Amino acid sequence: MLSLAVTVVGVLWWAVPAGYPFGARDRVTVSLSHLFEHDVGGAMTLVAGLAGLATAFASGRALRAGAIAQVVFFGVVMSDAGIMSLFGYGLAVLGPVALVGVLVMGCARRRPWAWAGLAILAGGVAASTVAGFPPWLAAGNIASSLYDYAGRVSWTLADCVACLVWVLIAVKAYRRGTPPAWARPAAVLRWGRPATIGAALCPLPYALYRLTWLTPWPTDSAMTGPHLDPGLRMQGLAIAFGALGGAVLTLGLVARWGEVFPRWTPVVHGRPVPVRLPVIAGGIVAGACCMASPGLVVNAVERDQLFLVLLWPYPLWGVLLGAGVLAYWLRRRSYAPSAAAS
């Protein structure tokens, strides 16, 4: 069904130029797809759909080769960095909600740190409101951005779904035989921790970049003088804390609380963390980083601003996080953690 849908879309893009969402009229230029118009993009999509239909009836090497080719097409050629923007905005919205939830649960269990954290948070909200930077302005900006790009981002999500389906097919086709030496428990401990720590460091440059928006010396010149926008500054703060939250969660792949729910968590405290929970969540983010990488590199070269790859190190981040998630999965498979909470 997926390949049939891709075939139909390819035909429509090829035959109806106005329906083609990429090329010169694309609003997202951090991509490869903005470099070619409907005649090329539609033809490639049509060929990918027909190849997918053929691969569905293949087996052995032909199935593996076909699946990898589809992953490259959807994960590289048709991918863009819009998926990371969605993650960033999502963390900016859900991060504060999760923080408040953690603090409230801690207060319910009479934890002093939770009461202190809640007081600091309330004081920060009050101070920012008095200073003219109420937090709800950030929520309004984020909602407006998502609404403006809803149509374009829907194609990003569709591409991600197609890529994920073919990744699962490829993994299933290759998942046979005895594990290699690097996948054994002793080896996993050697390379898993450094990869995870490196992945946790990757979002920090972007977090620091966003935090400068709150200073008199923002890294974005549009934030100064008459262009001062309180809502945009608060949006930068929210996204920065979302990035920091992602870094902390990444460290859970090598921390005890990433294997056993801590004591302060309600209902599930002391129970083992389901292996699939961090593996699926981390795997999705790692995949999104990898899908955003080609467009980021192309955009940095086009603008002659290669430092953007350091600010958003998606190529390195995706590889390191993927390795960290894989190490977590391999390690958790080899033993069952005790029920002692940390």
The answer to whether residue 11 is domain-embedded is no
The answer to whether residue 53 is domain-embedded is no
pLDDT value at residue 223: 53
The answer to whether residue 326 is domain-embedded is yes
Is the alpha carbon torsion for 42, 68, 287, 321 positive or negative?
Answer: negative
The answer to whether residue 200 is domain-embedded is yes
pLDDT value at residue 121: 82
CB distance 237 to 213 below 8 Å: yes
Nearest-angstrom CA–CA distance, 108 and 336: 30
**Residue carrying the six token digits 């690097």:** 182
Quick one: which of 229, 326, 11 has its CA closest to 3? 11
Q: What pTM did the predictor assign?
A: 0.75
**Residue carrying the six token digits 């790692």:** 286
pLDDT value at residue 176: 61
**Residue carrying the six token digits 């329906």:** 19
The answer to whether residue 268 is domain-embedded is yes
Residue 270: which domain range?
Answer: 58-334
Angle at 155 between CA 153 and CA 157, to 5 degrees: 70
The number of distinct structural domains making up the chain is 1
The answer to whether residue 46 is domain-embedded is no
The answer to whether residue 43 is domain-embedded is no
pLDDT, averaged per 10 consecutive residues of the chain (342 residues), comes to 90 89 85 88 92 87 90 91 79 76 79 83 80 70 74 87 90 70 77 92 88 71 56 73 86 89 74 89 90 90 86 91 91 57 38
**Per-residue pLDDT tens for 278-311?**
999 899 899 989 989 998 998 888 888 888 888 8
pLDDT value at residue 125: 79
The answer to whether residue 32 is domain-embedded is no
